Amino acid sequence: MIEQKLGYKFKDRSLLETALTHSSYANEFSCPSNERLEFLGDALLGCMVSVLLYEKYPSHTEGDLSKVRSRVVSGANFARYAETTGLGKQMRLGKGEENTGGRKRESNNANAFEALIGALYLDAGYEKTFEVVSGLFRDAIEENDFPRDSKTELQEVSQSIFGQTPEYRILSEEGPPHERTFTVEVTIPSDLRGRGKGSSKRQSEQSAARDALRKLGY
């Protein structure tokens, strides 16, 4: 079931087996646990989700992206994906862990999911792992509480109507270095222009995009 959900069949079956092995089982049967794979998977997930957010939201700040990443890269989400891929049912647990509800424990499921991603990377490489992570995390990445991003909206509208992206240029910079005011103009095909001011280039571009959207009737 796990491989079916991932869309990938492991070449090295021992990697998948280890990803499913809780430390309690490893201690009882003297075999490797999934902790090292968990370490690797945790780093990979953080990196890959960061790439997905960076590509999905080109106009958002580092702070915005970090907030969303912290919600996406979470134990609760990982445990949910473990359930989706059938990990919980196939985890190898020691008797004590099994008898105390370890199979349903969120931390165990989340750790197993991280280990699975680590194992997948070692067996299949970066591209396949990124493909799997992209598919699993697509909805979580798109479900966010970002304020409406005018630059992104204007770009989508311009590409949809005119097949081209807007062009931004700085008209002026005023004020002392610690208190600059930028005036930006955005131009889209049909010679429609929007203008905006702000204390940073980003703010003034957003303001100009809002002005252009208003003129377009959005």
Active-site residues, by number, are 42, 114
**Amino acid sitting at position 79:** A
| Consecutive H or E run containing 172 | strand 167-174
CA distance 5 to 34: 20
Question: Considering only CA atoms, which of 40, 36, 12, 10 is closest in space to residue 23?
Answer: 36
Burial of 78: CB neighbours in 10 Å, binned 0-12, 13-18, 19+ = buried
CA distance 151 to 206: 6
